[in-house]
Amino acid sequence: MDTLLERFLRYVTFHTRSDATNPACPSSEGQLIFARALQDEMQQMGLTRVTLDEHGYLTGCLPGNQPDAPAIGLIAHMDTADYEAEQVVPQLIEHYQGGDICLGKGDEVLAIRDYRFLKNYLGQDLITTDGTTLLGADDKAGIAEILSAIAHLQAHPEIPRGDVWVGFTPDEEIGRGADRFPLDRFPARWAYTVDGGELGELEYENFNAASANLRFVGNNVHPGTAKGSMINSQTLAARFHAAMPAGQTPECTQGYEGFFHLAQMSGTVEESTLHYIIRDFDDEHFAARKAEMQSRVAAMQAEYPKARIELTLTDSYRNMRSQIEPHMHIVELARAAMEAADVEPKIKPIRGGTDGARLSFMGLPCPNLFTGGHNFHGKHEFIPLQSMEKAVATLVELVRLTSAWRA
């Protein structure tokens, strides 16, 4: 635990924001720089078979001391989300006494009225941003927790363990984290992503996900002579979005409710685009959402035959529940590990996705464990140090309990 905070504070200084516009893997040079630093650290720790490939996938192994124990994997991602992530300056609020937290720059405040769960962390040590960037706990906290757990296991050889494989991936935030995952050099029987939120989260369900890109092509004519000939693509795009179901958006849904989310829009009179993400847990409801999008596009095209409206639907990832349920012992081991670490398990669906969803369909069942963080992807992100310590303890207990498991 002594090095957990130092690790995390060091990791967040690396600029690893991924770039969805770059088709390369990794999509940003900073991820490779961070991966090389982690590679050096893993080698200095004495992990074996430490390998970093040209695509930024870093793997290594802590050899076990129980020959018959199953090999498991612990996975986290190196990139951060599409939000300002350069020159991250974390703040450590020791022994939080309640109330608002002033972030270091300007008048940004972590306000108790907005985040009432802050009261759950009275007396704890909170790591926040300075109000100008995200923090990067998603998922550098996961990396710090995994390597701190590995260091603890190394320091305590009396703890029984099988082989523990470690994997750090690029570009998870842009949906590509599992694209080139090197399963051939990651011989775990199952794995866990350490990429969740608040203390105790344990997740083996996630959204089915798709993206919908709409292109509206109109006709630009001088506005002084436009009557009867101009087709303003921006007007069509605005009408399309205005007709979407207002209650089926992220800000209006929770739990198992799906949504349509307008994530990006741009346009001119001649051409406009709308980019939606579509999410639902239920397979049939997910298919119905995609069909509804197609139906709405067809109806608008019929209403405006002189315009051109194009829709591209692309599936992103699927609900991993179907791949986890045949192996529910891996969820039960995680639950037992949390309880052994004095953590109350909170089993809930992920209103998003992880590398583990894709990996589960690639043959590596992979539930998701908490990191302890809150408010990911923005300037109000924070993480309690004590929750990170509990994550490390949970991982240690998970390795210990797994060592005794036999099929």
Consult the annotation and say whether 173 binds a ligand: yes
Helix H or strand E segment including 168: strand 164-169
Catalytic site residue from 79, 125, 280, 397: 79
Helix H or strand E segment including 74: strand 72-77
Supply the Cα-derived Rg of the chain in whole angstroms.
23
**What is the rounded (10 degree) CA torsion for 138, 259, 358, 55?**
-50
* φ, ψ at 72 (rounded to 5°): -125, 165
In contact, 168 and 38? CB cutoff 8 Å: yes
Catalytic site residue from 139, 163, 172, 203: 172
**Residue corresponding to tokens 């989260």:** 201
Distance between CA atoms of 138 and 17, rounded to whole angstroms?
Answer: 11
**Residue corresponding to tokens 């004519």:** 221
- 82 tagged catalytic: no
Consult the annotation and say whether 377 binds a ligand: yes
**Nearest residue to 52 (alpha-carbon basis) of 42, 67, 39:** 39
Runs of H (alpha helix) within 98-193: 137-155
The angle, 0 to 180 degrees and rounded to 10, between the axes of the packed helices 385-403 and 329-340 is 130
The angle, 0 to 180 degrees and rounded to 10, between the axes of the packed helices 137-155 and 385-403 is 50
Tokens of 42: 């893993």
Consult the annotation and say whether 280 binds a ligand: no
Tokens of 150: 């590995």
- 79 tagged catalytic: yes
Consult the annotation and say whether 77 binds a ligand: yes
CB under 8 Å, gap of 24 or more: what pairs does 284-288 form?
A: 285/258, 286/208, 286/210, 286/258
Bridge-based pairing of strands 190-196 and 368-370 is parallel
At 1 the three-state DSSP class reads coil
Cα–Cα distances in angstroms (integers) from residue 163 to residues 113, 304, 397, in the given order: 46, 62, 14
Residues catalogued as catalytic: 79, 172
Q: Which residues are annotated as a binding site for Zn(2+)?
A: 77, 138, 173, 195, 377
